Structure 1
C-alpha cells in the first residue's frame, strides 16, 4: 500500500513497526499516510472512518483547528517547510485523526518532525504510547518553528547593530523578514487556539504528567506567537528608522545643494552680466581684465563662504 508511509504499534514496549498492513487498522497503532495517493480513501472507508472525516483529512487547503468527535478528535496543525529549496514560512499541513483508538497522520510533503519521531522509534527511544506520541509531535513542530524564528531574530539584531548605510538593501531585507513573519503568524495564531482546545479536551484522556507536558508545549506555542508579534513590532520600528535615515540623507543633500547654489548664485549673475557680447562692456580693451575678473570671483566666493560659516549654516 503506497499511501502508508509508516506504521507503529504502541501496544507493546518499546513500540514496534507494523509489518502486516493488509488488514484493518489495529487499536493502539499509529499510521502515517500520504494523503494524495490513490487508494487511501478506499482504505479509510474499509477502516469504518466516516466520509466527512475522510474529506477533512484529504482536502487541499486547511487551517489549524481542533474538533472533538464522539470517538476521537481531529487536530489540524502546521509545521515549517524545511525541505530542500523550500521557504520555511510556507508552512506544511499535518492532519491528525484519532478515531476508535487509532491515530492517523496525513501529509503531502515530508515533515522533519515526523522523521525525527520515526528515527527515535527505530532506535527504541521514542514515545511510549499514543498520548506520548502526540506530545512529542507538538514538541517537534514547536522546536522547528522556534529555529526559524530564532534565525529571523538574529537577522533583526544584526540589522539594528549595522546602522543605516545601505538603505536600499536594508529595505529589501526588512520587507523579506516582515513577509516571513506574517506568513508564520498566519498559521501559528490559529494553531495556538487549536492547541488550547486540544489541551482542554485531553485532560480527560491523559494522565496528569502527560497532560502537564502538553500544557508546556501549548505555552511554548504561546511564547512563539508573542515572539513573532514582538519581532513584527521591531521590524516596523526598523522601517520607520530607515525611512527617517533616508529622509535625513535627502534633507542633508538638499541642504548642501542649497548652500552651493547660494554661493554660486552671485557668481553666476556676474559671469552672466560680463558674458554679454555687446559694445560698452568694461575691460574689453584691457588684456588683464579676465584675470582681474577671475580673482574678483574667487574673493567673492571666499567672502560668501565665510559669511555663511559665521551665520552657522552648517
Structure 2
C-alpha cells in the first residue's frame, strides 16, 4: 500500500499538505487542487503543465509560474493571485545575494509554490509541519513563509553590516585591500537591492488586496512583514551610502599619501638643486678649474656643499615649509 501511494506522487511534487484541520496533515494521495491545500513543486521537471491544467489552472498562470526569468511582482486574478518573491540563497558554495525565485500561486483557496533550487525558508516550514508545530491554516502558512524569507534576508544584512564595520577600521589591512573588499561588498548589495525593492512593491500590493483572501489577523501580520522588508531596504540603502562615504575616505587617504610623498620629493629636490648645480660646474674636466692643483680642494668643496645643505635646511624650516 505504501508503494502504491508513493507511485501516485509525481516526481515534481516535493511536498503537499492539507490545512483543513489542525495540525496540518501530509497529502499522500488524491493530489488535486482543493481549498486549504499547499503543493510545493519542482518547476523544472516534466509533467507539471499537464498536472496544473488538470487542476483547472488557466494556461496564462501556468506560463507565469514556469517562466525562467522573473522578478518579484504581484498580480491579482479573479480566483486569487500570483506572488513572485526572491529568497536568500543559503546553499553551500553559493553567494547569498544571488537570490532564488519562489513563485506562489493562490488559486481557489489552494496555494501552489514553485522552486528550482532549495529555499531555506520553505525548508524551515516543512520541518515544523513534520513536527506538527507549523502554521495553523493555509493563510497562516502564507504569512509565515513571507516572514521566514524576511528573516533570512535580515540575517544576511547583519553579516553585511559586520563586514562593513571591519572595513571602516583604518588599522585593518592596506588601503588597496580594503578598496577591493569594499568593491566586492558593493556589488553584493547592489544585487540585493535589485530584488528587494520590487519585492517591497509586490508585498505592498498584496497588502492592499489581502482582505479579500486573508483573515484580519493575517492581514495585520502581512502588514508587519511589509514594514519589515521596508526597514531592510532602508538598511541596504544606508549601507550603500556608507560604501560611498568609505570609498571617498579611502580615495582621500590615497590622495593624501601621494601629496605627502610628492611634497617630500619636492623638498629633497629643492635642497639638492644648488648642490647639483655646483657639482655639475666643478665636474667640468677642462683647464682653468680652480683648486685643481690644491691638495685639499676636494675636501674643501665637500665641506662647502655640506654647509650649503645645512643653510638650506634651516632656511626652509624657518620659512615653515614643513
TM-score by length of 2: 0.94
Q: Could you say which residue in structure 2 is the equivalent of 1:62?
A: 70
Q: Secondary structure of 1:90's match?
A: coil
Tell me if structure 2 keeps the 8 A contact 1:164–1:245: no
- Within the candidate set 146, 170, 174, 2:178 is matched to 170
Per the alignment, do residues 200 and 118 of structure 1 end up closer, same or farther by CA in structure 2, a change over 3 Å counting?
Answer: same
Using the alignment, how far apart are the partners of 1:29 and 1:97 within structure 2? 12
For structure 1, the residue ranges without an aligned partner over 5 or more in a row are none
| Structure 1 residue 256, shift from structure 2 partner | 0.5
Q: Could you say which residue in structure 1 is the equivalent of 2:6?
A: none
Q: Could you say which residue in structure 2 is the equivalent of 1:95?
A: 103
| Structure 1 residue 170, shift from structure 2 partner | 1.3
- Within the candidate set 202, 215, 218, 2:210 is matched to 202
Q: Could you say which residue in structure 2 is the equivalent of 1:11?
A: 20
Using the alignment, how far apart are the partners of 1:40 and 1:207 within structure 2? 31
Tell me if structure 2 keeps the 8 A contact 1:164–1:242: no
| Structure 1 residue 164, shift from structure 2 partner | 8.1
| Structure 1 residue 105, shift from structure 2 partner | 0.3
Q: Could you say which residue in structure 2 is the equivalent of 1:124?
A: 132
Q: Does 1:229 align with 2:217?
A: no
Give 1:140-289 correspondences, 5 Å limit: 140-162=148-170, 166-289=174-297
| Structure 1 residue 184, shift from structure 2 partner | 0.6
Tell me if structure 2 keeps the 8 A contact 1:167–1:246: yes
Q: Could you say which residue in structure 1 is the equivalent of 2:29?
A: 20
Q: Secondary structure of 2:233's match?
A: helix
Q: Secondary structure of 1:75's match?
A: strand
TM-score by length of 1: 0.97
- Within the candidate set 306, 309, 322, 1:301 is matched to 309
Per the alignment, do residues 28 and 157 of structure 1 end up closer, same or farther by CA in structure 2, a change over 3 Å counting?
Answer: same
| Structure 1 residue 152, shift from structure 2 partner | 1.1
Tell me if structure 2 keeps the 8 A contact 1:98–1:104: yes
Q: Could you say which residue in structure 1 is the equivalent of 2:5?
A: none
Using the alignment, how far apart are the partners of 1:86 and 1:139 within structure 2? 22
- Within the candidate set 50, 54, 79, 1:71 is matched to 79
| Structure 1 residue 165, shift from structure 2 partner | 6.5
Q: Could you say which residue in structure 1 is the equivalent of 2:47?
A: 39
Q: Could you say which residue in structure 2 is the equivalent of 1:115?
A: 123
| Structure 1 residue 41, shift from structure 2 partner | 1.2
Tell me if structure 2 keeps the 8 A contact 1:135–1:213: yes
Q: Secondary structure of 2:16's match?
A: strand
| Structure 1 residue 178, shift from structure 2 partner | 1.1
Using the alignment, how far apart are the partners of 1:207 and 1:165 within structure 2? 54
Quote the RMSD (CA, aligned, Å): 1.3
Task: Write out per-residue CA displacement over residues 116-170 of structure 1, whole angstroms, 9 at most, x where no aligned residue.
Answer: 0000111111111111011111111101111111111112122223358622111
Tell me if structure 2 keeps the 8 A contact 1:80–1:144: yes
Q: Secondary structure of 1:93's match?
A: strand
Count the aligned residue pairs.
Answer: 313
Using the alignment, how far apart are the partners of 2:15 and 2:292 within structure 1? 101
Using the alignment, how far apart are the partners of 1:114 and 1:102 within structure 2? 17
Using the TM superposition, name which of 283-292 and 302-311 deviates more: 283-292
